[in-house]
């Protein structure tokens, strides 16, 4: 068993092209002995966003705090604390902070994601609600 | 993609022997098209607890609210919001609410857990901090 607080986990900037104002903490993963999937915690600054991208594996997301949008293809959905999102494999998606405070969410992926490619695609031109 | 709020997900009592005051919401799982793992949200009433049990698959847990303990074998660890727990396969474990408000946590499991057996074991006699 491992028990730790999020404050003990280093936060790293997300440096993928198309990312802005995003940091990630790897809370649990393969190197901790997690057999199947990894838990990460993202923090997106006001006005920031993840890349618009797709990949052949899923995300399971739980929104902890803040106000944002998840873009499904070209369709935005408003999200806030207590919202749950399943991004299925190969779906084009992006998370955007449209509120005044950090957007925080958990995002879990299968361990074999590390061996799969990620494709960043151009912004879709949706006007943000922010 | 699926986007939903936790308030739209039915809450069910946990009726496993050894459980007390626990409810569960299946937020995402195989029937939603989640390929590899399921996200559940538990709520344990003050004084309540999950069964003391083990099973041949892992839990990845994120504590959302409340004050509790996770028992690792016979060793209690205090837990509160922002704590993360990896319960490895076959570890004897139990979650207990030792605070005055509901203990809420996410608990993720691999999809193939449904085909595996769960063994409930007697209480270990640890004196709660509550």
Pairing type for strands A12-13 and A75-80 reads unpaired
Give the pLDDT confidence score for residue A122 in this predicted structure.
85
Segment A58-105, tens digit of pLDDT: 999 999 999 999 999 899 999 999 999 999 999 999 999 999 999 999
Buried-state track A48-78, b at ≥16 Cβ within 10 A, e below 16: bbbbbbbbebbbbbbbbebbbbbbbeeebee
Is B73 part of a structural domain of the chain? yes
The CATH number linked to A84 is: 2.60.120.10
- ipTM (interface predicted TM): 0.94
CA distance B86 to chain A (A): 5
> Residue B95: helix, strand or coil by DSSP?
strand
Q: How many structural domains is chain A composed of?
A: 1
Is A103 part of a structural domain of the chain? yes
Residue B62 is nearest to which of A70, A79, A106, comparing CB atoms? A106
Is B128 part of a structural domain of the chain? no
Give the pLDDT confidence score for residue B126 in this predicted structure.
61
Residues of chain B with pLDDT under 50: 128-130
Is B38 part of a structural domain of the chain? yes
Is B1 part of a structural domain of the chain? no
What value does the mean pLDDT take over residues A107-113? 97
Is B40 part of a structural domain of the chain? yes
The verdict on a CB contact (< 8 Å) between B1 and A86 is yes
Is A122 part of a structural domain of the chain? no
* Domain that includes residue A66, residue range: 9-112
The verdict on a CB contact (< 8 Å) between B5 and A83 is yes
Give the pLDDT confidence score for residue A130 in this predicted structure.
40
Is B62 part of a structural domain of the chain? yes
């Amino acid at each position: 068993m491992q028990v730790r607080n999020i404050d003990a986990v280093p936060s790293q900037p997300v440096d993928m092209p198309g990312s802005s104002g995003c940091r990630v903490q790897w809370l649990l993963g393969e190197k901790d002995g997690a057999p199947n999937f990894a838990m990460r915690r993202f923090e997106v600054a006001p006005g920031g966003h993840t890349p618009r991208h797709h990949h052949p594996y899923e995300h399971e997301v739980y929104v902890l705090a803040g106000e944002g949008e998840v873009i499904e293809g070209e369709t935005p959905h408003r999200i806030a604390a207590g919202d749950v999102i399943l991004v299925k494999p190969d779906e084009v998606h992006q998370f955007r902070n449209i509120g005044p405070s950090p957007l925080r969410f958990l995002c879990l992926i299968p361990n074999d994601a590390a061996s799969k490619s990620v494709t960043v695609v151009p912004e879709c031109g949706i006007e943000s609600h922010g």
